[in-house]
C-alpha cells in the first residue's frame, strides 16, 4: 500500500513553524533556490576559471557528487558538454518541483538571504570544534581530487573554496535530499517500518555512506581512492553527516547546504593558515 505523504514529508521538513516567520520562510524550497544560486554560480565560474588558468594548469576541481549527477545526465542521453551545463540545473529543477508540491508561498524576502548566511556561519561552529577535537586540523567535508602538485597556498585555497562550495550543495543533494527520501520510502513502504525507526536508520545509513565516499568512491565507471583513511576523519564525517541530516529535517535544504558550504570554506581557510603560518 502506498502511503500518502504530507507536504512536509515531500520536502523532508519535519518541523512546522509559524506562518511567514523567518524560520518558515527560509525553510521553503524557493528560498533555498535563491540562497544557493549565488553559491552555485561561484562554483561553476570558479571551476571554469581554474580550468582555464595557466598558473593552475596542472590542477583539476573534482566534486564527486557533482560527477555522479553529471554521469546520470550522460546516461540519460546528454552529451558530455550538455551534461556539464545541465548538472547545475538539476538542483534548480528539484527545488522548483519541491516548491510546487509544498504548496507554500513563493514570496522571497531579500533581507532573509543575509540572515541565512549568518545562520549558516553560526551553525558551522559545532563542526569546526568537533573537527579540531577529532583531527589536528579542520577536515574539509568534501571529496576534491587534485591532479598535480600545487605549491602556492593561495592557489590551493582557491581550489579548496571552489570544491567546498560545490561539495556543500551536491553532497547535500545526494546524501540528504535524495538518499534519505529514498531510504524512507524503502523502509516505510516496502518494509512497513514505523516512522521513528525508519528515520533513525535512514540517518545512520546516509551518514555512514557520506563518510565512506570521502575515502573510496565510484565515478566515471571505476573506483577511486579519496582522502587517506583515519579513524578521526571517518568518525568526524559520519557525525557531520548525522548533523546535516538533523539540520535538513529541521531547517530544510537551503540552510543545510549553505552550512555545509560555509563549513568547507572556513575549514579551507583555517587549514591554509595552519600550514602556511609557521611559529617564529
pLDDT tens readout for residues 30-86: 999 999 999 999 998 888 888 777 555 445 557 888 889 988 888 888 888 788 788
Contact between 241 and 175 under an 8 Å Cβ cutoff? The reply is yes
DSSP at 63: B
pLDDT of 176 > 80? The answer is yes
Stretch 148-164: mean pLDDT, rounded? 69
User: Taking all residues of the chain, what is their mean pLDDT, rounded to a whole number?
Assistant: 82
Domain parsing of the chain, residue ranges: 12-274
pLDDT at 61: 57
Kindly tell me the sign of the dihedral angle through the C-alpha atoms of 25, 30, 32, 37.
negative
pLDDT at 151: 40
Name, of 32-36, 102-106, 146-150, 226-230, the range with top average pLDDT.
32-36
Which of helix, strand or coil describes residue 51? helix
Is the pTM for the entire model greater than 0.75? Answer: yes
pLDDT at 112: 92
pLDDT at 113: 95
Tell me, letter by letter, the H, E, C secondary structure of 104-115.
CCCCCCHHHHHH
C-alpha cell at 100: 510546487
Q: Facing residues of 223 across strands?
A: 218
Closest among 130, 149, 150, 119 to 261, alpha carbons compared: 119
Contact between 226 and 214 under an 8 Å Cβ cutoff? The reply is yes
Which residues contact residue 70 at a Cβ distance below 8 angstroms, ignoring those fewer than 6 apart? 83, 84, 87
Pairing of strands 222-225, 216-219: antiparallel
Q: Facing residues of 225 across strands?
A: 216
Stretch 238-264: mean pLDDT, rounded? 94
Amino acid at each position: 500500500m502506498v502511503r500518502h505523504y504530507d507536504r512536509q514529508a515531500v520536502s523532508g521538513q519535519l518541523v512546522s513553524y509559524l506562518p511567514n516567520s523567518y524560520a518558515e520562510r527560509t525553510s521553503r524550497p524557493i528560498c533555498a533556490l535563491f540562497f544557493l544560486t549565488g553559491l552555485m554560480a561561484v562554483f561553476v565560474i570558479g571551476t571554469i576559471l581554474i580550468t582555464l588558468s595557466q598558473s593552475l594548469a596542472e590542477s583539476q576541481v573534482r566534486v564527486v557528487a557533482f560527477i555522479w549527477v553529471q554521469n546520470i545526465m550522460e546516461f540519460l542521453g546528454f552529451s558530455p558538454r550538455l551534461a556539464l551545463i545541465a548538472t547545475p540545473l538539476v538542483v534548480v529543477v528539484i527545488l522548483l518541483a519541491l516548491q510546487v508540491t509544498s504548496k507554500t508561498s513563493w514570496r522571497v524576502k531579500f533581507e532573509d538571504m543575509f540572515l541565512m548566511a549568518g545562520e549558516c556561519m553560526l551553525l558551522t561552529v559545532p563542526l569546526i570544534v568537533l573537527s579540531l577535537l577529532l583531527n589536528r586540523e579542520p577536515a574539509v567535508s568534501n571529496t576534491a581530487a587534485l591532479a598535480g602538485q600545487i605549491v602556492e597556498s593561495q592557489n590551493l585555497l582557491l581550489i579548496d573554496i571552489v570544491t567546498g562550495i560545490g561539495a556543500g550543495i551536491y553532497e547535500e543533494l545526494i546524501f540528504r535530499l535524495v538518499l534519505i527520501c529514498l531510504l524512507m520510502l524503502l523502509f516505510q513502504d516496502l518494509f512497513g517500518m514505523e516512522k521513528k525507526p525508519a528515520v533513525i536508520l535512514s540517518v545512520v545509513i546516509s551518514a555512514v555512506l557520506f563518510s565512506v565516499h570521502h575515502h573510496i568512491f565510484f565515478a566515471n565507471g571505476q573506483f577511486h581512492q579519496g582522502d587517506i583513511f583515519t579513524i578521526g576523519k571517518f568518525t568526524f564525517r559520519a557525525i557531520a553527516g548525522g548533523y546535516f541530516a538533523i539540520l535538513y529535517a529541521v531547517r530544510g535544504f537551503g540552510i543545510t547546504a549553505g552550512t555545509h558550504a560555509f563549513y568547507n570554506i572556513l575549514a579551507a581557510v583555517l587549514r591554509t593558515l595552519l600550514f602556511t603560518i609557521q611559529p617564529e
